[in-house]
């Protein structure tokens, strides 16, 4: 699921970088994104943006971390130095880690390295200061007060947020069609925290809640859950068949999703949709088809979308 989280977080930051600046360093203003693939290396920080504060410009580097990483501080220092080097020291760098889930053993800043000094001299020391932000320490109301919809998916992860009423609030806040993609991410974060807390009743409630949401909200999590289930089964058995089974189930589920959306919105095209999806085995293509049909503005546009999806 790492790719799912990476893509989701990238979507949120790209949509509104200022929201995350208000979270990590209030008072800074977004200037522009910088490429996060560091030149001459295979290293790729999560977020690199140029900001300004009190007339000064600098770089903010943000890493998102779901679970504890024993080498997180060292990795952040490497990114920090490479970014400083890339900008030739003209733009100072500030670094942050946003942890999504609680862990009592997360390394705390600063990172300090010492080496023996010369005779009668103190030990030499390298001290790297950065900042950890644990979402479980953020008050739910404080995050709401920032007023950025791109931060609302994080509400279930906040100090008072792992509750059904907060998850319902997230769905209500993101109910508009323009927020569908962000609402999907909020659903994934809610599923993450309920699973982490081993709250089976809440997980079952969330799944039931999911079934009653708009069609466009259900295809992406179902797709990812099925793939994840297949991967886990394959890992437990030490066999690839779990993944294959997961993918096959995903194809079947996505085919059904296409037909159901068509039946609900354009009933006259149901037979055409059923005939078409039987010929498509690509999960991504089926997922895109669900989205296109869900947003089609009329029967003729929906018909053309289905015809264009026919395998060549």
Rounded Cα distance, 10 and 14, in Å: 6
Which contacts (CB < 8 Å, 24+ apart) does range 179-185 have? 179/149, 180/214, 180/216, 180/217, 181/11, 182/11, 182/12, 182/15, 182/149, 182/150, 182/152, 182/153, 183/153, 183/213, 183/217, 184/8, 184/217, 184/220, 184/221, 185/8, 185/11, 185/12, 185/153
Average pLDDT of the chain? 83
Q: Which domain holds residue 33?
A: 2-137
Q: Of 78, 113, 137, which closes a domain? A: 137
117 and 192, same domain (yes or no): no
172 and 245, same domain (yes or no): no
pLDDT digits (tens, 9 = 90+) for 65-103: 988 788 899 999 999 999 998 888 789 999 999 999 998
Query: CB-based contacts of 150: which residues, under 8 Å, 6+ apart?
Result: 12, 13, 15, 16, 19, 20, 182
Share of the chain above pLDDT 70, in %: 85
Rounded Cα distance, 217 and 206, in Å: 13
Q: What is the pTM of this model?
A: 0.69
Pairing of strands 111-115, 93-99: unpaired
CA distances to 245, 246, 248 from 234, in Å: 9, 9, 14
113 or 218, greater pLDDT: 113
108 and 166, same domain (yes or no): no
- Give the full edge-to-edge strand order of the sheet including 93-99: 29-33, 47-53, 56-65, 93-99, 131-134
180 and 252, same domain (yes or no): no
With 70 as the cut, is the pLDDT of residue 243 above it?
Answer: no
- Residue pointed to by tokens 């760098």: 93
55 or 231, greater pLDDT: 55
207 and 222, same domain (yes or no): no
Task: Yes or no: say if 48 and 83 are a contact pair by the CB < 8 Å rule.
Answer: yes
CA distances to 14, 216, 288 from 291, in Å: 21, 6, 5
Q: Of 90, 115, 137, which closes a domain? A: 137
Which contacts (CB < 8 Å, 24+ apart) does range 198-206 have? 199/162, 202/162, 202/164, 205/164, 206/167
15 and 112, same domain (yes or no): yes
128 and 231, same domain (yes or no): no
Chain-centroid distance of CA 69 in Å reads 18
With 70 as the cut, is the pLDDT of residue 245 above it?
Answer: no
With 50 as the cut, is the pLDDT of residue 223 above it?
Answer: no
pLDDT digits (tens, 9 = 90+) for 165-220: 999 999 888 887 677 778 878 888 898 899 889 888 998 888 777 766 655 454 54
104 and 19, same domain (yes or no): yes
Rounded Cα distance, 90 and 257, in Å: 52
Q: Find, among 100, 189, 163, 94, the residue nearest to 137 by Cα.
A: 100
**pLDDT score for 310:** 81
Q: Find, among 63, 41, 40, 59, the residue nearest to 51 by Cα.
A: 59
Burial of 192 (0-12, 13-18, 19+ CB in 10 A): middle
**pLDDT score for 37:** 79
Angle at CA 190, nearest 5°, toward 174 and 254?
A: 80
**pLDDT score for 127:** 92
pLDDT-wise least confident of 113-122, 158-167, 196-205:
113-122
179 and 221, same domain (yes or no): no
Crossing angle for the helix pair 270-277 and 241-265, nearest 10 degrees? 160
pLDDT digits (tens, 9 = 90+) for 260-286: 888 888 889 988 888 888 888 877 788
197 or 243, greater pLDDT: 197
147 and 102, same domain (yes or no): no
- Give the dihedral sign, CA 198/257/226/286: negative
235 and 169, same domain (yes or no): no
- Where is mean pLDDT largest: 148-157, 166-175, 212-221, 242-251? 148-157
95 and 6, same domain (yes or no): yes
Q: Of 137, 155, 182, which closes a domain? A: 137
Q: How many domains does the chain have?
A: 3
**pLDDT score for 283:** 74
């Amino acid at each position: 699921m790492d790719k799912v989280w990476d893509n989701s977080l990238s979507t949120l930051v790209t949509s509104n970088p200022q929201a995350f600046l208000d979270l990590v360093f209030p008072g800074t203003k977004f200037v522009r994104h910088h490429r996060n693939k560091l030149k001459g290396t295979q290293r790729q920080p999560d977020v690199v943006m140029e900001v300004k504060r009190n007339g000064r410009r600098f770089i903010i580097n943000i890493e998102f971390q779901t679970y504890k990483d024993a080498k997180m501080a060292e990795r952040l220092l490497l990114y920090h130095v490479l970014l400083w080097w890339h900008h030739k020291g003209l733009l100072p760098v500030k670094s942050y880690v946003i942890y999504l889930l609680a862990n009592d053993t997360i390394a705390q800043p600063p990172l300090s390295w010492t080496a023996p000094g010369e005779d009668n001299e103190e030990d030499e020391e390298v001290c790297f200061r950065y900042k950890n932000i644990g979402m479980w320490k953020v008050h739910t109301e404080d995050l709401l007060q920032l007023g950025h919809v791109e931060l609302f998916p994080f509400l279930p992860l906040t100090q008072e947020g792992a509750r059904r009423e907060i998850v319902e609030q997230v769905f209500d806040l993101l109910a508009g069609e323009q927020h569908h993609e962000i609402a999907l991410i909020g659903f994934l974060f809610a599923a993450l925290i309920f699973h982490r807390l081993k709250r089976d009743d809440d997980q079952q409630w969330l799944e039931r809640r999911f079934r009653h949401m708009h069609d466009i909200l259900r295809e992406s999590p179902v797709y990812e859950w099925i793939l994840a289930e297949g991967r886990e089964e394959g890992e437990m058995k030490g066999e690839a068949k779990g993944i294959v089974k997961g993918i096959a189930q995903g194809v079947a589920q996505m085919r059904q999703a296409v037909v159901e959306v068509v039946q609900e919105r354009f009933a006259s095209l149901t037979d055409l949709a059923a005939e078409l999806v039987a010929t498509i085995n690509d999960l991504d293509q089926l997922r895109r088809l669900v989205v296109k049909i869900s947003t089609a503005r009329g029967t003729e546009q929906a018909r053309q979308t289905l015809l264009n999806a026919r395998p060549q």
